[in-house]
């Protein structure tokens, strides 16, 4: 670290040197009145005095008070709102005037807080256009969450419209952009030319360096409100925090030079001087809820993966699909290839419909695979599933699968073995879903659920989760676990993953479980760890690439091993930064 030169000028003398007349401004006030025609028309219909009196009283009663009552709470769907999130929203509106660093520890719902704030500002008609900047792998997740949980439709830089007409794209009111795309030359200029009522920056620690284009972009955007979201505002040193705060409130910590002089010891930038003053300045701009403050203590979690030996037919089918995918990957869209391999990983039955659709492209091999599927009655996972269900039959167990055909297989299997179960599918009505959950809670030991169906439902009265298949997105795996390992869970939680040997899922679960111990981590920690990978691609695309580019077992092993090492490094960096955050911030910034 470069040593700061000894400077005889203290901050006070510097302030004297720079004493200047600060201009004083008056806020421009603009009035908008209904036009005179509308006023004239009001005189056309004569009413009783009592009607007028009631109308005025009604309007008076309808006047919104302060921020003590949030308007957004009634509008939110499928969200469990916690008291600290509501308090965070109120505090941001009331005391921070919409400029805040939301730095909750992982897993406490920063996105939910940001979404509630967005919704609140929209309902109060205080914002008309919103720009959300997120790392590329999180763009689609933001879009989905804003739509599903907040009923807000955003367009994103992943959408076709962006590719088709980028100029038109930036004129939209609700945009989610990859920060990498946004900071590129042409887009940069377009973004900074506009005024945004609200800017949200996710994974704000990417703005730690003020020399980067990302920092410059956020600095130059004209905006009224800004929320910067990060669980790790400090990753290496206090200057990163200085840079983040300077985006929200330039001058809050004076200049970098003065900040270093005042708050950082020369030999160790991570340690603190004048701790209290720094804390007091940070309290003006940052909210950081921690697990200990909100008393979020969850029971232990135990995970084990059952590596299932495939039947001969299963193995053949999977090998065929892998070969076909590798051969067709240059010509078929990545989504189709991904779907094929994911379905094959779930069960051969899940694969059938897609294969039929792709027959013209795949040709005879497709027919051959279809024949094999039709002949398949049982698969390796089925036996393991039944064994798991028959252990402790009185314990409530949730089975998650991604595909309806795999779900149907599970249903027929359980029926055959006389195991009672409840079904939970995405296409059921709200009443049917409620009835299924109630039935599971009160009477039935097993719930079979599609991933889509299970989202947002709390099942903490059960303590065993069986992943019949595994999503390739680790955050989705966390969401599944979060259904039972959440506030209200009183018993230890058991997670069983079923993976067929030598499938892509098998390799994936190996690195997630054995390299970064994902199943022992706090829910929410995977996302920042993946952020430390520094990859612009989503996790599922990274592992798909590895799979498609590795033609034999040896290469697959090596490439996954290499990727696992990167993950280990990313986790270590994350842990280092989390420890630093804990040391610096403690529990002083909660709501």
Partner 1 sequence: MIDLYNFTIKFLRHNGAIAEEKNGALEAVFPADLAKTLKTDEYSDIVFSPDEKNGELMSFDSDLFKKLPKVFNEKGKFSAIKVPSPHIHIDKLKKRITDKIIFQNAVFSAGENEEKAISYLLAFFKFTAFSDERREGVMSILLNEFNLSSARFGLEQLDDLTEIFERPLKNTKKMDNEKILNALCAAPKAIAREELEDFIQSANRRLNRDTKRIHEYYRTLIAETLQFIEKKSLGQKEKANSLNKIQAIETELRWKTDDLITKYNIDIRIDPISFIRIETVAPIFWLTIKRRKLTRLFPLTYNPLLKNFDNLPCESCFNPGNIHWVCDDKAHIICDKCFKTCPKCAKNYCGACHKNRCPKCGFIDNDY
> Which range, of 42-50, 106-114, 236-244, 274-282, touches partner 1 by CB under 8 A?
42-50
CB of 92 to partner 1, least distance (A): 11
Among 459, 471, 523, smallest CA distance to 497 is for 471
* Residue with token string 């959950």: 437
* Residue 38 binds to partner 1 (criterion: CB under 8 A): yes
> Which range, of 53-61, 434-442, 454-462, 556-564, touches partner 1 by CB under 8 A?
53-61
Among 275, 341, 298, smallest CA distance to 585 is for 275
Identify which of residues 17 and 443 has a Cβ nearer to partner 1 in the complex: 17
CB of 19 to partner 1, least distance (A): 9
Out of 6, 69, 167, 431, name the contact with partner 1 by CB under 8 A. Answer: 69
* Residue with token string 């299932």: 308
3-state secondary structure 330-372: CCCCHHHHHHHHHHHHHCHHHHHHHHHHHHHHHCHHHHHHHHH
Out of 32, 429, 443, 490, name the contact with partner 1 by CB under 8 A. Answer: 32
> Which range, of 52-60, 136-144, 424-432, 538-546, touches partner 1 by CB under 8 A?
52-60
Please give the Cα distance from 271 to 260 (Å, whole number).
11
> Which range, of 29-37, 269-277, 546-554, 564-572, touches partner 1 by CB under 8 A?
29-37
Site map for partner 1, 181-210, x if CB under 8 A?
--------------x---------------
> Which range, of 46-54, 146-154, 206-214, 331-339, touches partner 1 by CB under 8 A?
46-54
* Residue 55 binds to partner 1 (criterion: CB under 8 A): yes
Identify which of residues 246 and 449 has a Cβ nearer to partner 1 in the complex: 246
* Residue 254 binds to partner 1 (criterion: CB under 8 A): yes
Identify which of residues 79 and 575 has a Cβ nearer to partner 1 in the complex: 79
Out of 98, 204, 233, 471, name the contact with partner 1 by CB under 8 A. Answer: 98
* Residue 49 binds to partner 1 (criterion: CB under 8 A): yes
∠144-149-155 over CA atoms, to 5°?
35
Site map for partner 1, 209-248, x if CB under 8 A?
-------------xxxx-----------------------
Residue 310 token pair: 């495939």
CB of 34 to partner 1, least distance (A): 5
Identify which of residues 254 and 397 has a Cβ nearer to partner 1 in the complex: 254
Identify which of residues 191 and 470 has a Cβ nearer to partner 1 in the complex: 191
* Residue 10 binds to partner 1 (criterion: CB under 8 A): no
Number of chain residues interacting with partner 1 (CB under 8 A): 67
* Residue 430 binds to partner 1 (criterion: CB under 8 A): no
CB of 54 to partner 1, least distance (A): 6
Please give the Cα distance from 570 to 590 (Å, whole number).
27
Out of 147, 165, 250, 361, name the contact with partner 1 by CB under 8 A. Answer: 250
3-state secondary structure 161-210: HHHHCHHHHCCCCEEEEEHHHHCCHHHHHHHHCCEEEEEEECCHHHHCCC
Identify which of residues 118 and 414 has a Cβ nearer to partner 1 in the complex: 118
Which run of H or E residues covers position 557? helix 553-585
DSSP one-letter code for 513: I
Site map for partner 1, 114-153, x if CB under 8 A?
----------xxx---------------------------
Among 351, 387, 381, smallest CA distance to 368 is for 351
Identify which of residues 188 and 496 has a Cβ nearer to partner 1 in the complex: 188
CB of 114 to partner 1, least distance (A): 17
What is the rounded (10 degree) CA torsion for 144, 145, 149, 153?
Answer: -50
* Residue 50 binds to partner 1 (criterion: CB under 8 A): yes
Task: Look at residue 521 and give its three-state secondary structure.
Answer: coil
> Which range, of 28-36, 334-342, 347-355, 484-492, touches partner 1 by CB under 8 A?
28-36
CB of 199 to partner 1, least distance (A): 12
Please give the Cα distance from 532 to 574 (Å, whole number).
7
Please enumerate in sequence order all residues whose Cβ is within 8 A of that of 13, keeping only pairs 6 or more positions apart, or say none: none
Contacts made by residues 238-244, CB under 8 angstroms, sequence distance 24+: 238/263, 238/264, 238/269, 238/270, 238/272, 238/584, 239/264, 239/269, 240/205, 240/208, 240/209, 241/282, 241/584, 243/207, 243/208, 243/209, 243/210, 243/215, 244/101, 244/204, 244/205, 244/207, 244/208
CB of 53 to partner 1, least distance (A): 6
**Are 273 and 305 contacting, i.e. CB atoms less than 8 angstroms apart?**
no
∠237-241-247 over CA atoms, to 5°?
145
Query: Which residues in this chain contact partner 1 in the complex, by CB under 8 A?
Result: 9, 14-15, 17-18, 20, 22-34, 36, 38-40, 42-64, 69, 71, 74, 97-98, 124-126, 195, 222-225, 249-252, 254-255, 257-258
């Amino acid at each position: 670290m470069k040593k700061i030169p000894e400077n005889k000028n203290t901050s006070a003398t510097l302030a004297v040197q720079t004493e200047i007349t600060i201009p004083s401004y008056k806020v421009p006030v603009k009035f908008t009145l209904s036009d005179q025609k509308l006023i004239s028309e009001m005189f056309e219909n004569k009413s009783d005095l009592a009607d007028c009196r009631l109308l005025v009283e009604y309007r008076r009663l309808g006047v919104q008070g302060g921020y003590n009552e949030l308007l957004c709470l009634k509008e939110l769907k499928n969200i469990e709102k916690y008291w600290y999130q509501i308090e965070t929203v109120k505090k941001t509106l009331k005391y921070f005037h919409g400029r805040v660093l939301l730095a909750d520890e992982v897993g406490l719902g920063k996105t939910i807080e940001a979404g509630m704030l967005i919704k609140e500002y929209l309902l109060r008609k205080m914002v008309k256009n919103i720009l959300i900047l997120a790392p590329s792998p999180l763009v689609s997740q933001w879009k989905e969450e804003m739509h599903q949980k907040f009923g807000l439709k955003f367009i994103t830089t992943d959408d076709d419209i962006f590719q088709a007409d980028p100029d038109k794209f930036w004129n939209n009111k609700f945009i989610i952009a990859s920060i990498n795309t946004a900071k590129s030359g042409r887009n940069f200029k377009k973004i900074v030319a506009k005024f945004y009522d609200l800017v949200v920056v996710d994974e704000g620690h990417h703005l730690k360096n003020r020399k980067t284009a990302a920092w410059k972009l956020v600095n130059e955007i004209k905006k009224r409100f800004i929320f910067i979201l990060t669980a790790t505002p400090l990753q290496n040193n206090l200057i990163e925090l200085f840079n983040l705060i300077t985006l929200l409130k330039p001058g809050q910590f004076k200049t970098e030079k003065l900040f270093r002089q005042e708050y950082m010891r020369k030999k160790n930038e991570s340690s603190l001087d004048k701790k209290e003053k720094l804390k007091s300045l940070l309290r003006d701009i940052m909210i950081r809820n921690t697990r200990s403050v909100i008393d979020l203590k969850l029971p232990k979690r135990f995970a084990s993966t059952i590596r299932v030996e495939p039947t001969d037919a299963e193995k053949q089918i999977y090998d065929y699909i892998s070969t076909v995918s590798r051969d067709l990957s240059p010509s078929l869209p990545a989504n189709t290839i991904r779907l094929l391999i994911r379905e094959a990983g779930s069960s051969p039955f899940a694969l059938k419909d897609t294969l039929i659709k792709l027959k013209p492209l795949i040709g005879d091999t497709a027919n051959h695979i279809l024949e094999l599927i039709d002949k398949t009655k049982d698969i390796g996972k089925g036996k393991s599933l039944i064994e798991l269900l028959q252990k402790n039959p009185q314990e409530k167990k949730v089975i998650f699968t991604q595909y309806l055909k795999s779900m149907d297989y599970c249903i027929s299997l359980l029926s055959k073995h006389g195991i009672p179960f409840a079904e939970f599918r995405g296409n059921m009505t709200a009443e049917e879903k409620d009835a299924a959950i109630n039935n599971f809670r009160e009477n039935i030991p097993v719930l079979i659920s599609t991933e889509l169906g299970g989202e947002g439902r709390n099942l903490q009265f059960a303590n065993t989760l069986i992943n019949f298949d595994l999503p390739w997105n680790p955050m989705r795996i966390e969401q599944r676990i979060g259904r039972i390992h959440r506030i209200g869970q009183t018993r230890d939680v058991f997670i069983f993953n079923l993976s067929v040997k030598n499938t892509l899922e098998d390799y994936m679960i190996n690195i997630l479980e054995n390299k970064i111990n994902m199943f022992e981590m706090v829910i929410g920690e995977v996302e920042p760890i993946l952020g430390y990978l520094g990859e612009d691609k989503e996790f599922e695309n990274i592992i798909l690439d590895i799979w498609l580019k590795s033609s034999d077992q040896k290469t697959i092993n090596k490439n996954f091993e290499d990727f696992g090492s990167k993950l280990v490094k990313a986790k270590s960096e994350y842990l280092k930064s989390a420890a630093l955050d804990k040391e610096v911030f403690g529990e002083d910034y909660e709501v």
